[in-house]
Structure 1
Amino acid sequence: MFQDIQLDDLLEQQKNGHTLVDVRSPGEFAESTIPGSINIPVFDDEERAEVGTLYKQAGQKAAKERGLEIFSAKLPQFIAEFKKISTPMSVFCWRGGMRSKTAATVLDLMGIHANRLSGGIRSYRQWVVSELEKGEFPPRADCA
């Protein structure tokens, strides 16, 4: 069974060759990710939009069913991509929700161990903001 991992632990492990896998869509990955991560998406951009729209219009159950239908067709290729990774790994999505849970569960069923980042990339973004708030950024004299 996969384990959730906290951001501090993940960043420490990343220093020792731990692979971070962003399972969000390619568009989300291109917009922002945790530096050093690779992208093995559960859905492409169009599929993500379709499932999201279905969630809003028909509810969670319908979106889960369609998501399962889409993802199940991709399982062999998805697993093959993870088998190429020779280091310990962790998966993440936006907030540590359905996509990363599904990815980690499927990987576990196939004998591939992967942790899941608790809070997803959202926890990383919150950490970056808190780190920036610790710094002092006085105005430069030559910019007055």
Structure 2
Amino acid sequence: MHMENQLNWTLKTFEELSNEELYQLLRLRSEVFVVEQNCNFLDMDNKDQQCHHLLGWDCGELMAVARIVPPGISYEFPSIGRIVVSPRGRGRKYGVELVHKAIQCVDNFYGKGNIRIGAQLYLKKFYETFHFRQSGSIYLEDNIEHIEMTRVFNE
């Protein structure tokens, strides 16, 4: 399924992020995960430094971010984490574009293989559209129900 990109995408290592890009990335994550979802948690978990960061821009405004996590950091498989779309960008399929792009990045970096994520339970059906399947029981993280999901690669 090919989609036209609506957003301008950049992919950078932690070291390649400018101060402004890093600020915008952390601000967006904080806006959604901490403020909107009312979670009192430390978003900066010392994994960012080892990840690539996928940023989707619309006219200079950061609309979507995700981090590409190498295998062995969060799970034995590569992972996509901190998947977030700006409240100002919702309803425009940015999330679909973001996850498609992130899966492409994982495949490019690590070859086509299994990808594991920790997903908020209410997004289970959304991630299933990308062939992720529940691979663990429900767990609470910051008082939000999550599940581990795995996209198993098979040709």
TM-score surpassing 0.5? no
Q: Of Structure 1 and Structure 2, which has the larger fraction of its residues in strand?
A: 2
Tell me which structure has the larger Cα radius of gyration: 1
Q: Which structure carries more relative contact order (alpha carbon 8 Å, separation 6+)?
A: 1
Normalised by the length of structure 1, the TM-score is 0.31
Q: Of Structure 1 and Structure 2, which has the larger fraction of its residues in helix?
A: 1
